[in-house]
Chain A
Amino acid sequence: MAYADASHSAHHDTDHSQPPTGIKRWLFATNHKDIGTMYLVFSLTMFFVGGSMAMLIRAELFHPGLQLFDPVFFNQLTTNHGLVMIFGAVMPAFVGLANWMIPLQIGAPDMALPRMNNLSFWILPFAFMLLLGSLFVPGGGNAGGWTMYPPLSLQAGDCFPMLIFAVHLMGASSIMGAINVIVTIMNMRAPGMDLMKMPLFSWSWLVTAYLLIAVMPVLAGAVTMLLMDHYFGTSFFNPAGGGDPVMFEHIFWFFGHPEVYIMILPAFGIISEILPTFSRKPLFGATSMIYAIASIGFLSFIVWGHHMFADGMPVAAQLFYMMTTMLIAVPTGVKIFNWTATMWRGSLSFEPPMLFALAFLFLFSIGGFSGLMLAIVPADFQYNQTYFVVAHFHYVLVPGSVFAIMGAVYYWLPKWTGHMYNMTLATTHFWLSAIFVNVLFFPQHFLGLAGMPRRIPDYAVQFTDWNMVSSIGGFCFGLSQILFIIVIVQCVRGGKKATAKVWEGTQPTGLEWTIPSPPPFHTFVTAPDIK
């Protein structure tokens, strides 16, 4: 794929528009870069809020017995940690990256619906004020787990409607963001930018956006029915009135499993951008990567039952969900193979984005393999509700999604700010994160296999040693993230000037590297030429 120099149109754009100043710039933002920045800052804030909850959880679990809180508050922490990290940290981070990068990658002047873009961001702070505010109402916050299974979740007090309204708002925000991504990609690509020429990050987001539109309304429907059960006397899920709580689980996981892929497909796109750049080779099998993303997206809709094996279901259904779940390993294997082949005989260099991408490759695979173990029905009966499950999904989400987000920030930060960041500090951040994420989560496999149940504040003494190791890993991982803030703040404030291509000596493909660093407030008002 060859792009003509688009800097002419980019330079031209600076002549006629400067960003508004003061608070209005952010409150009434319609510029995709400003909205992207707000999403990323919001996500980072929530990462630390959710991370603080995780620190408290690990502090309580450092020793057996009850040290710091009563069990109800512990359950409130686990519930809200999950909700904050999923809906507040990971998803908004990807939406922020999409806002920043999709228009730049496809040569569009902005997102297709900029005012809706503003609304979808500004909904989020209110949603999280409600969610976090629910911790302070009489009776405390929601403690029934992020999955909100009835009838337990229906026993909540005043915090319950706050949770439901917050989930509705988050869903509305995500759906609007997804609509924006799809209509932008389908209608605003620069002439000559065929879909198959589109960069992998934009492709991964196109599939993710369709998943979001299909499943977020399903979650909204499920929680609406929960609200009706709680306040309007219906019995959708309340067994006391003839309702079916297992049906909630089916509806929830019809949302919940594609949600897992919503949090990992954009990460796949990011890795597909970083690895070729620092291998100095084109992405191996780019077309098959696109088909693999689409296949994973499709399969994500037909595997939800694997979350419910232990509920009891017909053997035929167990076999179906087991097989379809294992089938996902095929397109995922294609991706891992292609990433490895991209590096094969490449001229590798190990800048921070590449380090995070490499760690992703190894550590996400660990989460993938433990996922395969959990897909085996009889084995799942043993692992179910143990720390093995906690270890599995944290491997997928932390050194998977979160490392990809950090890699993306380190990859594009010089483009966004126009400054190179402190490489030594960023590399230190990587090594501390990569070491301590394993100290934190790997022992949880052992705990789970030994039978330690999840979602408990106290445990039998034989689990003490690995819990202490895990907690120490957690505290160190958490503290290491302060370096991330320092690197970002330093880079925003100044530093060595970044060139348009940023990563000298590499051949990054994509239109974003043809415009200056930082990009002007408006880019690609005149569509670039793509040969």
Chain B
Amino acid sequence: MSVTEPSVKRRIRNGALGLMSLALLFYFGFIAYYLYHRHH
């Protein structure tokens, strides 16, 4: 397996994007949760 293989490159890119989305979800999610908590 080499990092230059397209399938590995794709998995690395998708993995990084997925984890970044998870981080953004936590960031905005907590702010949204707090706003919801304040108003209900």
Contact = CB atoms under 8 A, between A and B. Distances in A.
B34 A527 contact: no
A183 B22 contact: no
B30 A112 contact: no
Given A109-B3, A220-B27, A213 B19 contact: yes
Contacts of B16: 112-113, 116, 179-180, 183
Contacts of A213: 19, 22-23, 26
Q: Is the interface of A mostly helix, strand, loop or mixed?
A: helix
Interface in A199-218: 213-218
A188 B20 contact: no
B34 A247 contact: yes
A187 B8 contact: yes
A191 interface: yes
Interface stretch (A84-92, A221-229, A259-267, A425-433): A221-229
B27 to A, nearest CB: 4
Contacts of B27: 217-218, 220-221, 224
Given A112-B3, A187-B12, A191-B1, A224 B23 contact: no
B31 A221 contact: yes
B36 interface: no
B32 to A, nearest CB: 9
Contact of B15 (A187, A218, A222): A187
A110 B4 CA distance: 12
Interface string B16-40: 1001101111111011001001100
A389 interface: no
Interface in A161-202: 175, 178-180, 182-183, 186-188, 191
Q: Is the interface of B mostly helix, strand, loop or mixed?
A: helix
A403 interface: no
A448 B5 CA distance: 59
A360 interface: no
A218 B8 contact: no
Most A CB contacts (10 A, CB to CB) among B2, B16, B25 go to B16
A220 B2 CA distance: 36
A217 B20 contact: no
A357 to B, nearest CB: 32
B23 A112 contact: no
B30 A218 contact: yes
Given A220-B27, A247-B37, A527-B1, A113 B12 contact: yes
B12 A175 contact: no
Contact of A224 (B3, B15, B19, B31): B31
Contacts of A220: 27
A217 B23 contact: yes
A217 B19 CA distance: 12
A222 B34 CA distance: 10
Interface of A: 108-110, 112-113, 116, 175, 178-180, 182-183, 186-188, 191, 213-218, 220-222, 224-225, 236, 244, 247, 251, 527
Cβ-closest 7 pairs across A and B: A217-B27, A217-B26, A221-B30, A183-B15, A179-B19, A112-B12, A217-B23
